[in-house]
Every structure is written in structure tokens, then in C-alpha cells.
Structure 1
Amino acid sequence: MSRDQPLLTIAIDGPSGSGKSSVSRAVADRLGIGYLDTGAMYRALTWWCLDQGVALTDEAAVVVAAEALPLELSTDPGDQRVVVGGTDVTAAIRTTAISAEVSKVATNTGVRPVLQQAQRDRMATISVATGGVVAEGRDITTVVAPDALVRILLTASEEARLRRRSAEVHGSADEAAIAATRDQVLRRDRDDSAVSQFTVAADGVVTVDTSDLDFDESVEAVLAVVASIAGHAHPDAPDAP
């Protein structure tokens, strides 16, 4: 991407299991720009608090931890690494143990503005370094980056979201695996929806429903939105309508 073009900032919101993380990484890779997983920041803070003995119910202490979080995040969509205090926690923050606790951090109203500002700062840095950024998570299109060039709400039916998350976590999407995943996915969305809007698109935000799309089709659908809004055509992207 030529540096005389506007920076290509893409903000993607969505509920658990909508495919936003995997689709966002693929979109960033196809466009040759950086990637920011904002959810990883909440997970990293959760891990750090538990590692440091900070009670997640002590909201003020968690805010202090957030302000001093020694976090390193890679920006390469093809090589995601998360390091906290010198420890690689890339795998650790995706465990069920962290997933079960992260809402306590994500719904802390003192933590959110701290991490949201950190996300804005990281988006700006990544954009300058790579010509753009795909940032995904919760509140990205409305609070973190309401001025992003492209804003998308990636959503899917409850059935599709549970099926995908079950396959991701349990390696299966059979009835038992879906049942084991149901509480974690739906509870996380319910808890987070108290402090974040990620189920209904705000004005100017384009909804992409992936319920009946496979992964490649979901990526193409997002690229089509990017092409139509930003006009950043590339060899693999669909033509803008």
C-alpha cells in the first residue's frame, strides 16, 4: 500500500463465535496490514491478575494492574504472540480457566477506559507502521474507533456461534460438545452486553451475517465491504459494487 493513501483502519465488532478473530486475521493478511486482537488484552490482564494474586473482585486493584500491564502483542496476523511480564501467554490466555474469569475484568468499568485508550494508541501505531490495521473485539466500532474508515459488525445465529466455538474448544460440534460450550459462550455475551454494545450495528456500521457462510466466504464478505467503502482493491478482493 502506498504511504500517500489514507491509512486503512478497519474496526470489527461481534459476539463470541461470530468468527471475528479468525476472519479479521485473514482480512489483515490479505490486505497486508497489521492486526489487533483487543480481546487478548482483556485476557492478558486476567492472566496477569491471577498470576500476581490480584483478586478479580477487587475492582480498584484490577484497574491499577491494567494501568501498569507489561504487555507485548505481535501485530502480524499470521504470527500472533502475547507476552506479559516476559512470559509467553499466547496459549494460556485461551484456556477455559481464563475464559471463565475474563468477564470479571471486561465488565470492570474502571478497566475498560484504560484498555480502550491503550487500544487506540496501538491502532495508531500499527496503522503508521503497516499502512492500516484490522482491530477486532467489543466496542471497537462505537467506543474505541468510531472514526475508523470501515466499521463492521460481524454476527451469526446462536446455533452457528455455538457450533463454531464448540469445534474450536472441543474439536467437535456434536450435541454434547455444544452443550458443554453453551454456558461459556452465552454467559460471556450476556455479561459483556451490560457494558458493551456488540449485537446491533450502530449508525454507519455495516452488518455481515456469517451464519450461512463458511470461513472463506466470510472473509470474502468482509473484503467486499472494505472494497466498497475504502476502494482499496487488491488482486484477491471482490470488485466494489
Structure 2
Amino acid sequence: MKSIEGLASIVIAVDGPSGAGKSTVSKAVAEKLGLVYIDTGAMYRAVALKAKRAKVPFKDDKMLEGIAKGCSISFKKVDDDNRTILDGEDVSEAIRTPEISLFTSRVSAVPGVRKALVVLQRAMGKTGGVIMDGRDVGTVIFPDTPFKFFIDASLEIRGKRRHLELKEKGADIADETSTIKEMAERDDVDSSREESPLVRADDAVYIDTSPMTQEEVAVQIGQLVCEILEKEGRA
């Protein structure tokens, strides 16, 4: 995909539920367009991991907020892999366990945690040239960006994808049915929380990835971004 000068100043927001393929698609788009990829979900997972290690009660909102404010979270690209760094430690694998996934739903519902991480996320993206994925990028973090996408898939397909992903990573996981059930529970928490619930921005492009490969989704997003830039005269 050709390089376009206007890409250096843009922020692409990719939102959607768990297992929709946000991370894989966003990484592919970043590679195609020469952008920096920022995984906001990994940031919440990092907070959940730190809280768990510190044995913070997961119903103690104040302590969880303190954990979030005290975290140093960054991303480092190693070869073709984006690594998550928490307080100087590479926690890329540690934050992807099923247990941390469930804890993350609780942590991400805490208003103080979300506010603390939104400040950090906005700082990471303020210079532009980034693609950021999560659940509230286009609605809360960067609501004014014209490059908004909401990617989705059926619960069954998302559950199968996540189960396969965890198996490939050698994770100790339950059967596929249990994975789908856990994902349904995560969906309910994400969409019903008071602070920044998972909703599609009114002006976001909706993409159902159920019948598509992740490469096809990445190509479609890349093409749409270039079209928007051309319409705005920034190509």
C-alpha cells in the first residue's frame, strides 16, 4: 500500500468487542501504513496484572485507581512483535491468561482507572501517526478523529478465534464452550459499565469480520483511510 504524507498526523481508532480481531488487524494496518500501534486493552491488562500481584481486592476501586496511576506502561517492538512493558518488565505473555482477562473486565469498569489510562493514551497519540485499538478509542479517547472503525463478529466466531489463539500460545485453557461463555460475560461487563461502555461511535465504519480474513479487514481499513485523506486533500 502506497505511503501517503498525511498519515503522519492521523489517529486511527479501532473499537470492538473481545475476540473481534482488533489487535491483529490494527497491527497489520500499522505495518501497511507505517503507523505506530497502541494496544489500549493491553494497558488495562497490565493494570489488572499489577493489582493481582499486589493482592489488591478487585472490589476496591480506590486502590485499583492508585495502581493505574502508579503504573509505567509502554510498548516496544521486537522484530515483528509488539511487546507490552510494565514498570520495566516485559509482561506480554503474563497479561494474556484467561484469569487476567476476567480480572481486566472488572478493572476496566473502574472510573478512576479509565480516567488515568485515558490521560496516558491521549499523550501517546497526541503527535499522530498512530493506530489505537480498544473499546472507547473513537468515543472517548479520540472522539474527533475522522478515522473511526468498529469491527465485530458473532459471539461464536469470536469465541472460537480466542480459544484457538490461546491454544496456539500454549495457554492452560478450558474447552471452547467455556471460552465462549467467558467472552459473553466479558461482553456484558463491557457494554453495561457506567464509565465508557462499549458502544459504536455514530460516525464509525462498521465492519463485520465474521466472513473475512484478518488480512482482508486490514486491507479494507487501509483503503478507507487513504480515501478519507484524499477527500480531505491531505493525500
What's the TM-score bracket when you normalise by the shorter of the two chains?
A: 0.7 to 0.9
Are residues 106 and 4 of structure 1, via their aligned partners in 2, closer, same or farther at CA, if it must alter by over 3 Å?
closer
1:182 to 1:2, Cα distance in 2 relative to 1, 3 A: closer
TM-superposed deviation, 1:32: 0.5
Percent identity of the aligned residues? 36
In 2, Cα distance between the equivalents of 1:197 and 1:61?
21
Are residue 170 (structure 1) and residue 167 (structure 2) matched? yes
Matches of 2:7 and 2:92, distance apart in 1 = 33
SS at match of 1:81: strand
- 8 A contact 1:36–1:75 mirrored in 2: no
* 1:141 pairs with one of 99, 122, 138: 138
Secondary structure of the 1:187 match is helix
Q: What does 1:73-152 align with in structure 2 at a 5 Å threshold?
A: 73-74=75-76, 78-125=80-127, 127=128, 132-152=129-149
Distance 2:156 2:220 in 1: 20
Asked if 1:66 corresponds to 2:64, the answer is no
CA contact (8 A) 1:152 1:206 kept: yes
Letter in 2 for 1:192: D
Tell me if 1:156 matches 2:179: no
Residue in 2 that maps onto 1:187: 185
Deviation at 1:4, TM superposition (A): 6.9
Are the counterparts in 1 of residues 14 and 149 from structure 2 also a CA contact under 8 Å? yes
Deviation of the 1:227 alpha carbon: 2.1
The 1:33/1:187 distance shift into structure 2, 3 A limit, reads same
Gap change, CA 1:77 and 1:119, over 3 Å in 2:
farther
- 2:74 counterpart SS class: strand
- Structure 2-normalised TM-score? 0.87
User: Which consecutive residues of structure 2, in runs of 5 or more, have no partner in the other structure?
Assistant: 169-173
The alpha-carbon deviation at position 140 of structure 1 amounts to: 0.6
Quote the residue 1:23 is aligned against: 25
Counterpart of 2:117 in structure 1: which amino acid? Answer: L
Q: What secondary structure does 1:207 align onto? A: strand
The C-alpha deviation readout for 1:136-186, integer Å capped at 9, x for no partner, is 001111101111230010111222212211211234xxxx84202112211
Q: Deviations over 1:13-42 (max 9, x none)?
A: 000111111000000110001010000000
TM-score if structure 1 supplies the norm length?
A: 0.85
For residues 50-83 of structure 1, what are the alpha-carbon distances to aligned partners after superposition, in whole Å with 9 as ceiling and x for unaligned? 1223222111011111111122222689331112
Query: Could you say what secondary structure the match of 1:90 adopts?
Result: coil
When the two chains are superposed, the root-mean-square deviation of aligned CA atoms in Å is 2.4
Q: In the alignment, which of 37, 40, 46 is matched to residue 38 of structure 1?
A: 40
SS of the residue corresponding to residue 231 of structure 1 reads helix
Structure-1 separation of matches of 2:151 and 2:77: 21
The Cα shift of 1:198 comes to 3.2
Structure 1 window deviating more from structure 2 (18-27 vs 68-77): it is: 68-77
Corresponding residue SS for 1:98: helix
CA deviations 1:202-238 (Å, max 9, x no partner) are 2211111111001221112212221222239xxxxxx
User: Amino acid of the residue matched to residue 187 of structure 2?
Assistant: D
Are the aligned partners of 2:46 and 2:91 in contact in 1 as well (CA < 8 Å)?
A: yes
Q: Please say if residues 150 and 230 of structure 1, whose CA atoms lie closer than 8 Å, have aligned partners that are also in contact.
A: no
Residue type at the aligned position of 2:150: L
Q: 3-state SS of the aligned residue for 1:35?
A: strand
* Equivalent-residue separation in structure 2 for 1:6 and 1:223 (angstroms): 14
- Paired AA for residue 126 in structure 2: A
Aligned to 1:236: none
Q: Which amino acid aligns with 2:35?
A: I
Q: Contact 1:107–1:194 (CA<8 Å) still a contact in 2?
A: no
